[in-house]
Amino acid sequence: MATYALGYATKTGMEISDDTSGTQKIPSVKIGNMDWPDPNKMGEFIETLGSQDSLISPSGPNVSYLAGAFRQGADVHWANPARITDFSNGKPLTPKKLHDLWQNQPEIFYEYLAGDYQVAELGVAYTSWLAAEAEKVALSNSMDQTLRREMEWFRFLKPDKDEWVAKRLEYAVLRFRSISRKGGIKLPKELIDQYRATLNSELEKLYTMCMEGDTKSIERVQKRLKEMDMASVEEQLAEHERRVEKLLKPLAHNEFFTGLKGIGPKSRSGVLFYIGNPLQFPSFMHLGSYNGMRIVEGQGIRRSSPENIEDLRYNHKSHGVLCFDFG
């Protein structure tokens, strides 16, 4: 039976303090372009926890560790990192000092509940959705530029029909095959030939529309070519949305949104992911302060610029979800 306190992830690793054997450190490893505590070793540590153990930690980046400890049956408590710094002259607390804070100021810690675990799952789905949307926007903008330049060439350098259709066709077939191969599927030649014939016919029609030269025809061609190239991206986004809605629907936290208009699954998920459980705030004024917002004519906007710079401390992520001015 032990109480463990997690520190913050750094370039060298993460310190973990306990009240029985002292401090241990999980070393960091390179993951992409970041240094992060070794997931395998952190997993091994989390798996040692049981129902007789307790874990205390700042929230934020440690959200996965809190969820893992809760799933193991440990008694888990978390604290707002900004609140913790009130007791450390604005600096992050070491795990040892977090232990002391837990002993002396337990009221600033929140018990990690089943709903928090559900929100953690929702957070993974929500951030995946946002990442997919960002990729879509980047791809869409790139395609718009490429298609615009290509359509301009129809005005100045009339491409050969067979050459233009063949180039587009081979690119589409190559992508079709590539996606299938990455999924471990070998497409039969008959299916590829059918896809090629169908697409060839449509590309010939699009070429004719481009040659007509009027703006509306060009816009229709651009839209259709873009749809062809982004079909899999759109399907991926739709699947992300379905997954988020499935995780969001059973959450009791949804009571918070009763009576609110114009807030869909993405905004709801953002609120819950960045705030946790909004129902834990004593009043809406407390929630507003945490988000750095005020209500004017039914809309959440940034609060007035404070005289004291410390009053600017608020959750900027959730502020961006709730406030229309995004300040």
The verdict on residue 327 lying in a domain is no
Residue 100: which domain range?
3-112
Q: Which residues sit opposite 54 in a β-bridge?
A: 3, 75
Q: Contact at 8 Å (CB) between 277 and 253?
A: yes
Residue with tokens 């703006």: 215
The pLDDT of residue 243 is above 70: yes
Any long-range contacts for 264-272 (C-beta under 8 Å, 24+ apart)? 265/241, 266/126, 266/129, 266/241, 267/321, 267/322, 269/122, 269/123, 269/125, 269/126, 269/129, 269/244, 270/126, 270/317, 270/318, 270/320, 270/321, 271/318, 271/321, 271/322, 272/119, 272/122, 272/123, 272/248
Q: Contact at 8 Å (CB) between 244 and 122?
A: yes
- Residue 46 has what pLDDT? 92
Residues 243, 257: one domain?
Answer: no
What's the chain's average pLDDT? 81
The pLDDT of residue 306 is above 60: no
Q: Among 54, 79, 112, which residue terminates a domain?
A: 112
- Residue 281 has what pLDDT? 74
C-alpha 219 chain-centroid distance: 33
Q: Among 49, 82, 112, which residue terminates a domain?
A: 112
Dmax over CA atoms of the chain, in Å, equals: 80
pLDDT band at 278 (very low <50, low <70, confident <90, very high): confident
- Residue 74 has what pLDDT? 93
Of residues 150, 161, 77, the one with CA closest to residue 112: 77
Residue with tokens 């299916």: 191
Q: Among 65, 85, 112, which residue terminates a domain?
A: 112
Q: How far is CA 38 from CA 17, 26, 31, 35, 268, in A?
A: 17, 7, 9, 9, 32
The pLDDT of residue 311 is above 60: no
pLDDT band at 301 (very low <50, low <70, confident <90, very high): low
C-alpha 227 chain-centroid distance: 25
d(CA 118, CA 255): 15
pLDDT band at 298 (very low <50, low <70, confident <90, very high): low
- Residue 326 has what pLDDT? 41
- Residue 325 has what pLDDT? 47
Q: Which of 197-211, 256-270, 296-310 has the lowest mean pLDDT?
A: 296-310
Strands 293-296 and 299-302: antiparallel
- Give phi and psi for 259, each to the nearest 5: 90, -10
The pLDDT of residue 70 is above 90: yes
What mean pLDDT comes out for the span 68-85?
Answer: 87
Number of domains in the chain: 3
Residues 227, 268: one domain?
Answer: no
- Residue 296 has what pLDDT? 60
pLDDT per position as a tens digit, 102-156:
888 888 898 998 888 888 889 889 988 888 888 888 878 887 887 778 777 777 7
**pLDDT over 90 for what percent of the chain?**
10
